[in-house]
Structure 1
Amino acid sequence: MCEVGSNDYVELRKEEKSDRLGRTCMKCREGSAVLIIRVGDAFCKSCFKDYFVHKFRAILGKNRVVYPGEKVLLAYSGGPSSSAMIHQVQEGLGRDAPKKLRFIPSILFIDEGAVCGQSWEQREQNVSEICRVLQKTNFPFHIVPLEQVFTLPRSVLQSALPGNSEHALNYKQAVNSFLEQQRAHQQDELSVTAYELAQLCVTDTLANGSKYSCPPAELTTALMEIFNSARTLTAKLELLQCLRRHLILHVVRMFGYSKVMSGESCTRLAVRLLANISLGRGAFLPLDTGFSDDRYGDVVIVRPMREYSLKEISFYNRLFHVESVFIPTMETKAPENSSIQHLSEAFITKLQADFPSTVSTMYRTSEKLNISRAESAEENIQQEKCLLCMCNLDTHVGEASAFCATQVSQNLSQRLKNNVEATRDPVEQCCNSGQCSERSSSCSTSVPRTQDLIPLLCYSCRVTVKDMTSVSTFPPYILNEAGHRSRRLEIRREIQEFLLDDGCGDM
């Protein structure tokens, strides 16, 4: 049994730190180490840069998800991780870069200042700072306010078949095709690289920063009503993530991109792993924390920074002067126990400080997770999707499961509640009995209710919606899609006895 006390542990840590001073680089064995990534990995500045760059290009080359000539959207938040990702792409597209990248990048920044309580002057100042940083990259960029979710079409929530299936057949064939197109555009014995193609695409999109104007006041008010209806910070953060993904998906499809690069680090994904398990999203961990997320069908989210720890990214940005922009979020200055996400982050951060292998162990665990897939892409698209996170519904389980037992209890409670409210409200009693010929604006059944959306959500999103006082504040595209799916389910129940089983067609 270990008898080392807390004082002895502190002394061991002090001796450990003193031994690290004056160490040489573990790779070149010549230069003095400027940082120690893990317990025994000491790097000089030059070797650390080679290590950092090689890891980024190796993960893209190993997975072979991004094809040459594809238009890729880089999701930028202003933080250190997404800033390092854009810097790596910028260097990888250079002419003299070894194993250079060959896709065509653009950048997207979503202004979320309204949900953080920022004034328009503060938001304008943040956007101008973002524009100043992004203009140095010479990449096209888009700056979109979060209020634009109220203008999205209903088709955003509908999955589509993959658009580049011919590339998926043979990666080498796609590379050869790109190289042939590159040779065809040679001028003066100089090939046109993807970096140059990206600079040629810089037209009005660079002016998006200067054209960025204040969103309409009614949209900002409607956005605030959504988050004010959420009782907990946990529900607000989950709702913000869903709306952000819907807006990214709309921009990707509108401008013809096929991939999205997101800058989540290994530390961030470890926090998400623990938080999502606590929120009931265990069935979707491979999509939420894996290298690629293909739940949308025609758009794939790629996470090339998932093998970097936050410590590595911070040191890289500091040593090589990668500029980032700090923008306050809803979690800024919040207590540790204010939300499940923030509590998970505080727990993992403190554990990582004393046990440096915590994050890497959780990361390796998440790598081994996988989900069952449909036999074909068509079958996967036809499966029922959650209305918010757009994952396959995980609520179709056996009757003897704990989920079904909980659902029966909730249905009974809701039925009793509806009976009590019907006796108190004559308008609702009239509508439930079928005596209303037309539903007026005063009729309560014309207002979307939480129980109407519950069957269209996965387990985790159901928990989020139940933390909201009203779902009528949702953007119109969500409510319209919910009504469309509810009517389809109602019609299917009516004609269920006339439908043939899947096995009847073989008779």
Structure 2
Amino acid sequence: MACSASTCQSTCYSDQPDQQHSTSTASTNKTNRNIISNGLCLKCKTNPPISAAAADSQFCADCFRANLFGKFRFAVTSNAMISPSDNVLVAFSGGPSSRVALEFVHEMHSKAQKNFDACRDRSLPVFGVGVAFVDETSVYSAPSDEEDRAVQDIASIVEKLAPPPKQLHVVPIENVFYSSECGDEGERLKKLLDAVTDPTGKEDLLLHLRMLALQKIASENGYNRLLLGSCISRIACHVLTATVKGQGYSLPADIQYVDSRWEIPVLLPLRDCLAHELNMLCRLDGLETVELIRNPGTGINGLVSSFVSLLQEENPSRECTIVRTAGKLIPFHFNRIQETDDSNVPLATRRRQKRYNLKPNECFSSESFCFICNGPLSKSDLLSLRTLEQCQTSPDALSAACCSSCRFQILPQDPLLLDQFSSVLPQQLVSRAKHDNYDSYSVLREQIQDCLLSEGEDEM
């Protein structure tokens, strides 16, 4: 009797589905190769590709841009980053990543405005957009005329955007010091950075001060969202540098789409885009960028950046692999926009928020943060907060109120430099060190009060 699929007791038909799948895949790949070899875009199959030598040569310019914007829009909508009632501040550094982020936000803003104008009842408001640039002239000692020219170029880029207009906020980084404090703000910033002897620690402190300045701009001008242009390439570097610096516990907080531990939640809608893709888009669309004079990284950050660039040249998927692997870490409870029942938020947006929003492990949470980098503190770091109960003003309390990485990289080891460092800290950081973590320690103490021995009790 002839063998058939219904009566055969052997395994001769077991590989048939896999063979069919392999045949189908091979046929699809062959078709795609034929399309590319014919000089046509893989997606639209009509226009020629960008370049025969480009990594994304399979797409034409229009499809390439649509693909990038689709990643951006999906990140915004699926994570409920922007609602019609929000006021978004875009951090603009002049580079390709922040330039593309500004362009995509502007495109969404213009479309929302057109829909609002076309709607008769005008039930949904249009979210607001502002642009912020942090001037770091006092840090890098760049010629004043070149920095002024860079600011003018940034202002020109923002002004050339089609209506609705966007307000530009140009603020020096020393603005993190309150104007009511005594002494020159620029001199205080210089003393603060000079007290940090480690090159990596100085770069990290400057990064934290930049974030503090952006938060201050957003808070003082009524913005409730802060949007950054961080892409896969930058996040991949951060994953490795954080690992080297011993920031593994707080790493999941920094690489998500949303970070709400700050007073103004931080958004990363370009998290799925590569740096070379953003550079290519700027060239294709003629998007102007501004090149700022910055000192190259000389510490761990610079070494890791060079290392990741070399890996990317050898294998274009390395950066994506690094970020995808780190993405398996459990996020924190603040790595999402809180669900809202606001009537101004479309129902479709609320459904996406419930479907795609992160489901963090609520037991894996932290309510205490490093007063310098604002990273969540691990249990070992929380135990060091016990010194705050006896001492809240001395430099020793600063060491107890920060994470182990900042304690090693940023805090000076020399007692004299530590005194200088603590004396010129911005008031926001001083307040955070004195009150926020001490309150968290008090809460922790209440939670374990039943397990503590009183002074009159002896250990058994």
Same fold (TM over 0.5): yes
Contact 2:239/2:326, CA 8 A, preserved across alignment: yes
Relative to 1, partners in 2 of residues 1:31 and 1:144: Cα closer, same or farther, differing over 3 Å? same
Contact 1:82/1:263, CA 8 A, preserved across alignment: yes
Amino acid at match of 1:24: L
Relative to 1, partners in 2 of residues 1:380 and 1:362: Cα closer, same or farther, differing over 3 Å? closer
Relative to 1, partners in 2 of residues 1:124 and 1:368: Cα closer, same or farther, differing over 3 Å? same
Instruction: Write the distance in 1 (CA, Å) between the matches of 2:406 and 2:222.
Output: 29
| Number of residue pairs aligned between Structure 1 and Structure 2 | 369
Report the equivalent of 2:156: 132
Structure 2 residue 290 is the aligned partner of structure 1 residue 325: yes
Relative to 1, partners in 2 of residues 1:226 and 1:31: Cα closer, same or farther, differing over 3 Å? same
Relative to 1, partners in 2 of residues 1:380 and 1:282: Cα closer, same or farther, differing over 3 Å? closer
Contact 1:276/1:285, CA 8 A, preserved across alignment: yes
Structure 2 residue 203 is the aligned partner of structure 1 residue 237: yes
Shift of 1:128: 2.0
Shift of 1:29: 1.8
Shift of 1:265: 1.1
Deviations 1:196-248 (A, max 9, x none): xxxxxxxxxxxxxxxxxxxx992112111111222122111110111111122
Normalised by the size of structure 1, how large is the TM-score?
0.64
Contact 1:264/1:306, CA 8 A, preserved across alignment: yes
Instruction: Write the distance in 1 (CA, Å) between the matches of 2:382 and 2:220.
Output: 40
Report the equivalent of 2:33: none
Instruction: Write the distance in 2 (CA, Å) between the matches of 1:398 and 1:66.
Output: 34
Instruction: Write the distance in 1 (CA, Å) between the matches of 2:108 and 2:438.
Output: 50
Query: Aligned ranges for residues 415-430 of structure 1 at < 5 Å?
Result: none
Relative to 1, partners in 2 of residues 1:456 and 1:38: Cα closer, same or farther, differing over 3 Å? farther
Of residues 294, 304, 312, the one that matches 2:269 is: 304
Of residues 339, 351, 355, the one that matches 2:311 is: 351
Deviations 1:35-59 (A, max 9, x none): 4798676111121122122221122
Query: Aligned ranges for residues 35-434 of structure 1 at < 5 Å?
Result: 35=51, 42-95=58-111, 102-137=126-161, 138-151=165-178, 218-296=184-262, 298-331=263-296, 338-373=298-333, 383-396=367-380
Of the structure 1 ranges 310-319 and 245-254, higher mean CA displacement relative to structure 2 is found in 245-254
Shift of 1:122: 3.5
Shift of 1:328: 1.7
Deviations 1:62-119 (A, max 9, x none): 2223212211111111111000111111222224999999522111111011111224
Report the equivalent of 1:475: 426
Instruction: Write the distance in 2 (CA, Å) between the matches of 1:389 and 1:28.
Output: 46
Which consecutive unaligned segments of at least 5 residues does structure 1 have? 1-19, 155-215, 412-444
Amino acid at match of 1:127: V
Instruction: Write the distance in 1 (CA, Å) between the matches of 2:135 and 2:379.
Output: 34
Amino acid at match of 1:455: A
Relative to 1, partners in 2 of residues 1:63 and 1:373: Cα closer, same or farther, differing over 3 Å? closer
Contact 1:275/1:340, CA 8 A, preserved across alignment: yes
Of the structure 1 ranges 65-74 and 302-311, higher mean CA displacement relative to structure 2 is found in 65-74
Contact 1:73/1:260, CA 8 A, preserved across alignment: yes
Of the structure 1 ranges 126-135 and 259-268, higher mean CA displacement relative to structure 2 is found in 126-135
Contact 2:229/2:269, CA 8 A, preserved across alignment: yes
Instruction: Write the distance in 2 (CA, Å) between the matches of 1:486 and 1:47.
Output: 50
Of residues 393, 400, 404, the one that matches 1:455 is: 400
Instruction: Write the distance in 2 (CA, Å) between the matches of 1:398 and 1:245.
Output: 24
Contact 1:57/1:99, CA 8 A, preserved across alignment: no
Q: Secondary structure at the match of 2:226?
A: strand
Instruction: Write the distance in 2 (CA, Å) between the matches of 1:31 and 1:78.
Output: 31
Amino acid at match of 1:107: V
Instruction: Write the distance in 2 (CA, Å) between the matches of 1:65 and 1:264.
Output: 15
Relative to 1, partners in 2 of residues 1:465 and 1:323: Cα closer, same or farther, differing over 3 Å? same
Relative to 1, partners in 2 of residues 1:487 and 1:26: Cα closer, same or farther, differing over 3 Å? closer
Instruction: Write the distance in 1 (CA, Å) between the matches of 2:431 and 2:113.
Output: 49
Instruction: Write the distance in 2 (CA, Å) between the matches of 1:381 and 1:246.
Output: 23
Contact 1:284/1:371, CA 8 A, preserved across alignment: no
Relative to 1, partners in 2 of residues 1:218 and 1:22: Cα closer, same or farther, differing over 3 Å? farther
Contact 2:113/2:126, CA 8 A, preserved across alignment: no
Shift of 1:476: 3.6
Instruction: Write the distance in 1 (CA, Å) between the matches of 2:112 and 2:53.
Output: 28
Contact 2:198/2:409, CA 8 A, preserved across alignment: no
Which consecutive unaligned segments of at least 5 residues does structure 2 have? 1-35, 117-124, 339-361, 453-460
Let me know the Cα RMSD of the aligned residues: 3.9
Shift of 1:397: 6.8
Shift of 1:381: 10
Q: Secondary structure at the match of 2:250?
A: helix
Relative to 1, partners in 2 of residues 1:118 and 1:103: Cα closer, same or farther, differing over 3 Å? same
**Paired-residue identity, %:** 25
Shift of 1:125: 2.7
